[in-house]
Amino acid sequence: MMLALVLGAHALTLADTVRRAAEVNPTALIAALTTQQAEFAAAQSWAHLGPTPSLSIGRTWRNNLEIDTGTFNVSLGALQPASWFSALQRSSRATAARYAAAGTTLDAQYAAAALYVGVWEARRAVAAARDTESAATTLATAIQARVSAGLDGPLLGRSAEAGRLLAVAERIAAEAELSVARVQLARALQMDDVGELEAPSALALPESSGGSPWLDAAKELVQSARWGHIRDLAGWFPSGGLTASTPLNAPGLAVTLSATWTLDGVVGPFLLERQSALAVRIADVQYSALQRDYEAELAAARVRATAAGQVLDAHRARQEAADAALAEGRALLDAGLVSTLEVLRLQDQLSSARTARVGAELGELLAILEARRLAGEGW
């Protein structure tokens, strides 16, 4: 509620977007709840090692005499090695789930950030399309005047009008894309409308990789598999127990210390140990593969972002040159030194340069966001 009031008071910022995405994204919420489940499962495993009270109440009749057999027992599972390693395994799984939840939230935030910059650049695309439409309309009007004065042929007038109609169509398409982008962002943030957007601050490539939560989760799963392997190895050895009991109908306390050695079909523990050993190898290979993939993807993302920045610089220079060329072309047209056809060509070049620049800006922002996500850089 407070966030809604704040957003209603000022323009939506990129920081607002990623914060809200972490709070409302269903995948992130489910990941957090799954982490809580894993933590409760780990706590239950540790609790199993502590005192376990039990109350037994019954009646036994022997030779028509009623005997009270009610007892109160407290057993201690701390003498069972397999239970210790099982608890450690569940704790590692809970830690892995916590890292996975952090990774899921981070991915949700970067997905929302990408939608945010998409809306912002869609606005810039609309502005560029409107500028192009305005210029095309002005040029078409001027050329039509020259046609009416007999300075240019009707074909050039029709060409100028076609250019104006194309500019109108491109402006309509840009406005439609902006509407779609706003709807997608509003849906991701579970808002009716995102309202005004504040210009995103400059994004920079991460200096170094801080470590992805997904890598940490995979690493912790390897540790969990190792604890499981040790647990299955412990199945070869006896397990102990300590039980204290007292009857309900008479004073007295009995303490029993026991040791039990059982084998599941003689070779059962061996087969379990082999399975868990393979599980360790599988988890280790998965972690190594994921680590290599992240390193390679991060390196590629850095290259893409750097190249996107260079492409953007080139398109900015191209638009500046196209602006200057069109201004010069119009001056030469007024002086009768160039043809109207040449000015139409320069107008098309400027329109293309504006569109390409906006696309290059979006490409650079998205490439930087992807590099930051792979580097595990939080918001």
Res. 2 pLDDT band, cuts 50 70 90: very low
What are the residue ranges spanned by the domains of the chain? 2-374
Burial 201-212 (b: 16+ CB within 10 A, else e): eebeebeebeeb
Higher pLDDT, 65 or 195: 195
- Encoding tokens for residue 37? 């489940």
Q: CA end-to-end span of the chain, whole Å?
A: 22
| pLDDT tens-place string over residues 299-341 | 999 999 999 999 999 999 999 999 999 999 989 988 888 888 8
Hey, which bits of the chain come out as E strands?
51-56, 59-62, 65-68, 71-76, 239-247, 254-260
Report whether CATH 1.10.10.10 matches the domain 2-374: no
Contact between 280 and 225 (Cβ < 8 Å): yes
| pLDDT tens-place string over residues 141-187 | 999 998 998 888 899 899 999 999 999 999 999 999 999 999 999 99
Q: Which residue has the tokens 């119009």?
A: 330
What confidence score (pLDDT) does residue 118 get? 96
**Neighbour count for residue 317 (Cβ, 10 Å):** 12
- Encoding tokens for residue 233? 């190895």
DSSP 14-36: HHHHHHHHHHH-HHHHHHHHHHH
| pLDDT tens-place string over residues 263-311 | 777 788 888 999 999 999 999 999 999 999 999 999 999 999 999 999 9
Measure Cα distances from 231 to 88, 224, 240, 259, 261 in Å. 9, 11, 15, 17, 15
| pLDDT tens-place string over residues 199-257 | 998 889 988 777 899 999 999 999 999 999 999 998 888 888 888 888 877 777 888 88
DSSP 351-362: HHHHHHHHHHHH
What confidence score (pLDDT) does residue 243 get? 86
Mean pLDDT rounded to a whole number for the chain: 90
DSSP 258: E
Q: Which residue has the tokens 């398409």?
A: 173
